[in-house]
Amino acid sequence: MCLRAGGDPAIFYHNSYWQLDPDEALIIEFRPPENCRTWNFQLSNYWMESLDYRHRRIHINRHGATLEADGTCRLVVAHACPGPQYPNWLSTTGHRCGSMLLRYVEATEFPPITTRVVPQATLKNA
- For the stretch 82-93, pLDDT in tens is 999 999 999 999
Which CATH number does 11-124 carry?
2.60.120.1600
Work out the pLDDT band at 1, boundaries 50, 70, 90: low
pLDDT of the residue at 3: 65
pTM as predicted: 0.91
CA distances from 83 to 56, 67, 124 (A): 15, 16, 7
Phi-psi map region of 48: left, alpha, beta (phi>0 left; psi -120 to 50 alpha):
left
> Exposed/middle/buried for 39, CB within 10 Å: 0-12, 13-18, 19+?
buried
Q: Is the pLDDT of residue 6 over 70?
A: no
